[in-house]
Amino acid sequence: MCDADVDVCPVCGDAVSGYHYGLLTCESCKGFFKRTVQNHKSYTCAESQDCRIDKTQRKRCPFCRFQKCLRVGMRLEAVRADRMRGGRNRFGPMYKRHRALKQQKHALLHSHGLRVDYPTIISSPTRTPLTFPNITTTTTDRHQQTQSSSSSSSSSSSSSSSNFFQTQTRCESHHHHYHSSPLGAVYSGSPVPPAAAAAAAAVAAAAAAAAGGRCGSSSQAQFSGCFSPQGSALPRLLVEFLRCELDELQVQSKITGRLQQMQGEGGWGWGWGGHGEKLMYLMADQMLFYIVEWARGSVFFKELKVSDQMKLLHHCWCDLLALDIVSRQVQHGRQGSLILVTGQEVDLPAVVTPAGPLLRTLVQKGQELVDGFRKLLVDRNEIVCFKFLILFNTDVKHVENQSFVENIKEQVHRALLEYTLCAYPQFLDKFDQLLLCLSDLRALSTLTEEYLCSKNISGEVPCNNLLNELLHAKHNSM
DNA sequence: CTAGCCTTGATG
DNA sequence: CATCAAGGCTAG
């Protein structure tokens, strides 16, 4: 018998109780996800962050359980900030479409007689853009109901992700004269920081999930056209972008670790002012390191010559930094506070009260942008597109392969348009609204750079840092 | 904390 | 008025 319609929770394999936070899950994972998001829980894994999650062991490691919730596509946005009860959310239409698709599939299966052992009946020749072996295999996998396969997405992904980063060495011939600077050091081809390698596994798994790699149910993706709640038929480009994402939790723990290291015995506070402010610069510096690392490993970008890569990065690092910070607030933040990449929460009034006018406007504009993102219901997929639109900026001068940059930018535009039309059919001008948001973000970025320059932080942080270099590179080139 | 059951309230 | 996915409650 076909397993495609067995309603099994994609997180733990328990019986599904309905649609919860974007997809069909069981009651317990629903509750777990809600508690975690509502209460800003943060867990740690006692093992190696790859615990098996099934019905009997799901209580054992909340860290891995939550990771799996995200990986299979449960949506943070569906947890209401205002805790309002009842009613419907924007996923309603999506649930409805998904139900219709399931029904169609059933009808199709029955019209072919009841012999439904193999999913070939519903495979569609029109949809074969999946160039990733681990994705295509999981979608046709037929022995998923066992425990071992529930983790197949993460284990099988490591192989593809490792060569993903190994291919980087191809670019190394270009890097020779950049060694002396921090950005050069990131480019120096020295072993990729462990976070990136470790994150790659989780990243590929997340992408597999986004591409319909939910192990249990085989074929929502085949009825292409629009996107199922399981996130199946995303534009091909978007799937590739998602594969390039670093894992937030991995980066978070690496940055936290490194900052604690630097903090040393001093015991600086996390507030604003004094050592806290210094720590913020160090944190931004670390974030930039990962931003560059991400760009460097990203599809298309890594095809560019290193000199072009550096020109683009010099131009957009602050946009990417601002986007990273803003989107973190959109996802996890609360009114009146700032969530740091380390997961810590800073009280905004404590930042603003002693601040100068420039920082005040910066915080205010930032808040406005976060509100704008929220009102627009900007989702993770759109943010990923933003990152590539920011990266492939056709305004950057003296880029050798300008036509490539233009080409990619156009493709991203198309993918984003296609995505918004399909994922938010009720919201026809979402694409245009998003582009407006993006220009607001650029304005915020400019303001941020001005602020950083005005602080002349070179004395505040160790001189060998990326933040300083990028600030000055921009200054010198303009 | 967990997870089963309960209450709410917009949607059709 | 029925549905059903949100949030709430509470024993274990």
Q: Could you tell me which residues are beta bridge partners of residue A346?
A: A338
Residue A369 has pLDDT above 70, yes or no: yes
A434 is in an annotated binding site: no
pLDDT in tens, A332-346: 878 888 989 888 888
> What is the distance between the alpha carbons of residues A273 and A232, in angstroms, rounded to a whole number?
46
Q: Which residues sit opposite A329 in a β-bridge? A: none
Q: Of A291, A285, A298, which Cα lies nearest the Cα of A316?
A: A291
The torsion angle over the Cα atoms of residues A121, A122, A125 and A127, rounded to 10 degrees, is: -160
Looking at the predicted structure, is the pLDDT value of residue A260 above 50? yes
Q: What is the mean pLDDT of residues A161-173?
A: 30
Q: List C-alpha distances in Å: A318 to A324, A381, A386.
A: 10, 20, 13
- Going from the C-alpha of A68 to that of each of A55, A243, A361, A416, the distances in angstroms are 13, 16, 39, 26
Instruction: Say which nucleotide is closest to residue A25, CA to C1' distance.
Output: C5
In this predicted model, what pLDDT tens digit does every residue of A444-462 receive, in sequence order? Answer: 999 999 888 887 665 665 5
| Residue whose pair of structure tokens reads 């929770």 in the numeric block | A9
pLDDT in tens, A169-212: 333 333 334 445 667 666 654 434 444 444 444 433 333 333 33
Please state which of the ranges A184-198, A213-227, A359-373 shows the lowest mean pLDDT.
A213-227
User: What per-residue confidence (pLDDT) applies to A58?
Assistant: 97
Predicted pLDDT of residue A94: 86
A67-124 tens-digit pLDDT: 899 888 898 889 998 999 999 988 998 898 788 777 766 665 565 444 333 222 222 2
Strand B closer than 7 A to residue A35 Cβ: yes
Output the distance from A97 CA to B11 C1' rounded to whole Å: 15
State phi, psi for A125 to the nearest 5 degrees: -70, -15
* A126 CB burial (10 A radius; 0-12, 13-18, 19+): exposed
Could you say which DSSP state residue A458 is in?
G
What is the per-residue pLDDT for A103?
A: 76
A425 is in an annotated binding site: no
Residues 39-68 of A with CB under 7 A from strand B: 39, 41, 58-59, 62
Closest nucleotide to A88, Cα to C1': B10
pLDDT at A270: 52
Exposed/middle/buried for A395, CB within 10 Å: 0-12, 13-18, 19+? exposed
Percent of chain A surpassing pLDDT 70? 65
A189 carries a ligand binding annotation: no
Nucleotides of B under 7 A from a protein CB: 1-5, 7-12
Name the band, by pLDDT with cuts 50, 70 and 90, for residue A476.
Answer: low
